[in-house]
Amino acid sequence: MNLTARLKDDTGALSLEAVILFPTLIMVLLLVIAFGRISSADNAVDTAARNAARAASLERTGGAASGAGERVARNVLGQQGLQCTATSVSISTGGFAAPLGEPASTTATVSCKVRLSDIGLPGLPGSRTMTSSFTSSIDSYRQRG
């Protein structure tokens, strides 16, 4: 076989392309998985904060509001299938001290530390903390304790 025939022969080129492209495709796939997990976790934390604030606003006392909000937030995170390595739920109860007839509100803040280290993407942090807050109005004319 002469030199020009060898230069035109592309035997093995597909293998070389696969060796070059395969790691790149795996990295892109892992990146999509990471962004999907982050987006899903962010959505779950938003939902938990919204539902916790709403549950807290329906209670009559600050203590009951705090308990109901935390219970609902943790329940929602569990239902969403989010596995947090650390979870924090904070319910502001100052609005329950407002006099009857005055506008008041309660705010729920939910934080969840989501593990990303199991994805195996180089340069990706080991975990990321998602935080969301939501404020819900307390009925101005509802009896408060």
Question: What is residue 4's predicted lDDT score, i.e. its pLDDT?
Answer: 61
Instruction: Count CA within 13 A, CB hemisphere, residue 90.
Output: 9
User: Cα(96)–Cα(51) distance, rounded to whole angstroms?
Assistant: 18
Question: What is residue 11's predicted lDDT score, i.e. its pLDDT?
Answer: 63
pTM of the model: 0.80
Question: What is residue 18's predicted lDDT score, i.e. its pLDDT?
Answer: 79
CB 145 within 8 A of CB 66: no
pLDDT digits (tens, 9 = 90+) for 22-56: 888 988 898 898 888 899 999 999 999 999 999 99
The residues of the chain scoring below 70 in pLDDT are: 1-13, 144-145
Average pLDDT score over the chain? 87
